[in-house]
């Protein structure tokens, strides 16, 4: 690796005024992968991907803009909290997650909706043995770009994975609580404690302490690899799969330790303080997680993030906005107007949090624009109407400019049955990851 010219961070900070440290900037460290010629010249910052998920579908009547074309100021009621950002996002209508449908597997639309959302793969109906979906779009990106940042990807949420019992008609709970799949058989748990997310991003202790600890960990990992080798090959198939997960986690940490040794120090931007724990208030919790996502992108700790605002099938009540019924029960609205209004209220609440996140991303200035300009953020649900559990005509919102590769601000209607995965495929290509197929994709999505 050629040694890049190193700028001092101080010089840089002075040069760009209020802008915070830009660890991704070429000259600051050997993070040159994204800028070594393959990308458009105009791209001064790396492109990022974020995927936000809301459960139980959306009250589509209050979501879908009335006409195609540029978004007008008269947004449907759920989108109104986003009015100030209407030039920064598009509504994509008509996309379908076919693999969230039963396709012969019977009930379980909630479990499938989340696990098929980013994978485009029919999740295997099982309450335990042989969990299987497919690799998710974020993890395709993480696998390809992960070596450029300290964390390959970040998985966050507000509700932990485990819930009682089989969560949805014979599907293990893992399906309705997991969005990111590292491989077809390895769901990635999400972190719901803001404090722990912060620690993952910025570690704890001084650089020396961290280096010492990393060195010690590297030798522990070396040792336990021998234990793994003892077992490897002497096991049944199920055991072997579990041990493979272990080994791949060991490799992952080893690589991270190697990378940490030559990546620039993580710097906590001014004004950002470590959160203490999980806030009581759901809204604060979501906002804190959103802040952390911004922080992770801003410091180039990762370029890929998934954020599950609530688990699929979540029965959470929203008494603080006047909805004391559980979300899931309400979503079976039976066309009752009162219930639908309440669902719209919940949808609007989530959209309000999205508005907060977009606002935050716009407030971070980066090179030639803002963080939002250098991000592709998808927001939506794998269920359309919660009552019908239909997985076509999904509510999908795409925000950000993806380093000039996206053209936000409009409502586009795609032909029926256009795979949602076409969108994901198109986003991957905008990360300079050339992939022919992803799940059930049939090609690129135009006009995004």
Partner 1 sequence: MNKAAAEQSGTLILKASISRWKRWGWSALLLGLAPACLGAANGFQESALPFLEKHCYECHGGKKTKADLDLKQIRDDGRLLQDLKLWRGVLHQVNTGEMPPTKQPVQPTPEEITRFNQALEDSIAAAEAKLPLDPGRVTARRLNRTEYNNTVHDLLDVDFNASENFPADDVGYGFDNIGDVLSLSPVHLERYLDAAEGLAERAVVLKLPKPPERTTYSIFLEPGGYGSEDGTRPVTNAVPELFVRHTLKDSGLYRFRVRAGASNAAAGEPVRMTLRVGDREVLTAIVTNAPKKWEAFELELELPAGEHRFSALWTNRDTNVVGQTLYINEFKVVGPKDTRTPFMKRVDAIAPEAGDEQRAEDLVQWFLTRAFRRPPTPEERARYGKVFAAGRAAAEGKWEGGMQELVRSALVSPKFLFRVELDSQPQAVAPQAIDDYQLASRLSYFLWSTMPDEELLDVASKQQLGTQLEAQVQRLLRDPKSSALVENFGMQWLQIQRLATFQPDSQLFPAFDEGLRRAMLRETELFLTEIIRDDRSLLDLVDADFTYVNRPLARHYGIESAAFPEGGGKRRKHGEFVRVSLPDRQRGGLLTHASILTATSNPTRTSPVKRGKWVLEQILGTPPPPAPPNVPQLDAQKELTGTLRQRMEQHRSNPACANCHRQMDALGFAFENFDAIGRFRERDADGMIDPAGTLPDGRSFQGSADLRLILRDKKDLVARNMAEKLLTYSLGRGLEYYDERALRKILAEVARSEYRFSSLVISIVQSDPFRWRRGLGAAAAVPAADRPKGGS
Residues 381-400, interacting with partner 1 (CB under 8 A): 387-390
Number of residues that bind partner 1 (CB under 8 A): 80
221 binding partner 1? (CB under 8 A): yes
Q: What is each CA distance from 5 to 2, 9, 44, in whole angstroms?
A: 10, 12, 17
Work out the number of other CB atoms within 10 angstroms of the CB of residue 7: 14
In order, the DSSP letters of 389-431 are T--SS--EEEES-TTTT---SEEEEEEEEEEHHHHHHHHHHHT
What is the distance of C-alpha 327 from the center of its chain?
22
Which has the closest alpha carbon to 135: 181, 102, 174, 93? 181
| Contact status: 245 vs partner 1 (CB under 8 A) | yes
- Find the binder of partner 1 among 26, 127, 283, 392 (CB under 8 A): 127
Q: Provide φ and ψ at 410, rounded to 5°.
A: -140, 170
Q: CB–CB of 95/379 below 8 Å? A: no
The radius of gyration computed from the CA coordinates of the chain, to the nearest angstrom, equals 22
* Binding flag, residue 259, partner 1 (CB under 8 A): no
Maximum Cα–Cα distance across the chain: 66
Q: Can you tell me which of 131, 272, 293, 378 binds partner 1, judged by CB under 8 A?
A: 131
Q: Minimal CA–CA distance to 268: which of 305, 303, 299?
A: 299
81/108 with CB nearer partner 1? 108
Residue 243 sits in the site that holds partner 1 (CB under 8 A): yes
Q: Which of 30, 94, 170, 279 binds partner 1 (CB under 8 A)?
A: 170
Q: Are 338 and 367 in contact (CB under 8 A)?
A: no
Among 64, 86, 99, 125, binds partner 1 (CB under 8 A): 125
Stretch binding partner 1 (CB under 8 A), from 114-122, 123-131, 262-270, 401-409: 123-131
- Least Å distance, CB 438 to partner 1, is 21
| 417 scored as a contact of partner 1 (CB under 8 A) | no
Closest to partner 1 by CB, 44 or 192: 192
With contact defined as beta carbons under 8 Å apart, do 57 and 331 qualify?
Answer: yes
191 scored as a contact of partner 1 (CB under 8 A): yes
Half-sphere exposure of 429 toward its Cβ, with a 13 Å CA cutoff?
17
- Specify the stretch interacting with partner 1 by CB under 8 A; choose among 57-65, 87-95, 216-224, 435-443: 216-224
Torsion sign over Cα 141, 442, 395, 407: positive
Whether 180 contacts 52, CB under 8 Å: no
- Residue 57 as a binder of partner 1 (CB under 8 A): the answer is no
**Residues numbered 90-109 forming contacts with partner 1, rule: CB under 8 A:** 102-109
Site mask for partner 1 (CB under 8 A), range 348-387, x = bound: ---------------------------------------x
Token pair belonging to 330: 């309400």
Burial of 295 (0-12, 13-18, 19+ CB in 10 A): buried
Q: Nearer Cβ to partner 1, position 118 or 403?
A: 118
Contacts of partner 1 in 7-46 (CB under 8 A):
none
In the stretch 302-331, what mask flags binding to partner 1 with x, by CB under 8 A? ---------------x-x----xxx--x--
- Is residue 341 involved in binding partner 1 (CB under 8 A)? no
For the chain, give the number of residues.
448
Part of the chain binding partner 1 (CB under 8 A), chosen from 237-245, 284-292, 370-378, 410-418: 237-245
**Is residue 47 involved in binding partner 1 (CB under 8 A)?**
no
Is 267 a residue that touches partner 1 (CB under 8 A)? Answer: no
Instruction: Indicate whether 184 belongs to the interface with partner 1 (CB under 8 A).
Output: no
Closest of 398, 355, 362 to residue 378, by C-alpha: 398
């Amino acid at each position: 690796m050629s040694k890049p010219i190193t700028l001092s961070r101080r010089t840089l900070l002075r040069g760009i005024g209020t802008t915070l440290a830009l660890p991704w900037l070429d000259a600051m460290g050997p993070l040159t992968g994204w800028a070594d010629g393959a990308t458009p010249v105009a791209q001064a910052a790396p492109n990022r991907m974020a995927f936000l998920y809301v459960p139980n579908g959306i009250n589509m009547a209050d979501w879908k803009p009335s006409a195609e074309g540029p978004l007008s100021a008269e947004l449907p009621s759920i989108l109104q909290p986003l009015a100030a950002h209407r030039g920064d996002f598009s509504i994509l209508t008509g996309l379908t997650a076919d693999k969230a449908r039963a396709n012969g597997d019977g009930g379980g639309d909630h479990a499938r909706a989340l696990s098929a959302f980013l994978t485009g793969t029919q999740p295997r109906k099982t309450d335990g043995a042989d969990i299987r979906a497919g690799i998710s779009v974020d993890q395709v990106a993480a696998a390809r770009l992960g070596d450029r940042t300290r964390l390959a990807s970040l998985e966050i949420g507000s509700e932990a994975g485990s819930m009682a019992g089989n969560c949805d008609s014979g599907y293990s709970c893992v399906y309705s609580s997991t969005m990111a799949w590292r491989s077809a058989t390895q769901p990635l748990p999400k972190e719901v404690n803001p404090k722990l997310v912060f620690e993952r991003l910025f570690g704890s202790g001084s650089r020396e302490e961290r280096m010492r600890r990393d060195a010690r960990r590297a030798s522990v990992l070396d040792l336990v690899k021998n234990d793994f080798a003892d077992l490897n090959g002497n096991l049944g198939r199920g055991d072997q799969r579990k041990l493979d997960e272990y080994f791949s986690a060991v490799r992952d940490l080893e690589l991270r330790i190697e990378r940490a040794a030559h990546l620039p120090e993580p710097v906590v931007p001014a004004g950002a303080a470590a959160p203490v724990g999980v806030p009581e208030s759901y809204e604060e919790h979501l906002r804190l997680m959103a802040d952390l996502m911004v922080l992770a992108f801003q410091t180039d700790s990762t370029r890929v993030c998934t954020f599950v605002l609530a688990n699929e099938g979540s029965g959470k009540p929203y008494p603080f906005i006047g909805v004391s019924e559980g979300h899931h029960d309400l979503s079976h609205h039976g066309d009752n107007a009162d219930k639908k209004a309440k669902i719209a209220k919940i949808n609007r609440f989530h959209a309000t949090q999205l508005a907060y996140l977009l606002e935050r991303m716009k407030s971070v200035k980066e090179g030639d624009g803002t963080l939002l300009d250098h991000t592709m953020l998808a927001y939506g649900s794998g269920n359309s109407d919660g009552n019908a559990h239909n997985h076509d005509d999904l509510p999908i919102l795409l925000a950000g400019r993806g380093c000039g590769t996206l053209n936000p601000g409009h409502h586009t209607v795609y032909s029926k049955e256009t795979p949602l995965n076409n969108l994901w495929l198109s986003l991957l290509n905008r990360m300079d990851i050339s992939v022919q197929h992803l799940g059930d994709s049939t090609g690129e999505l135009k006009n995004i």
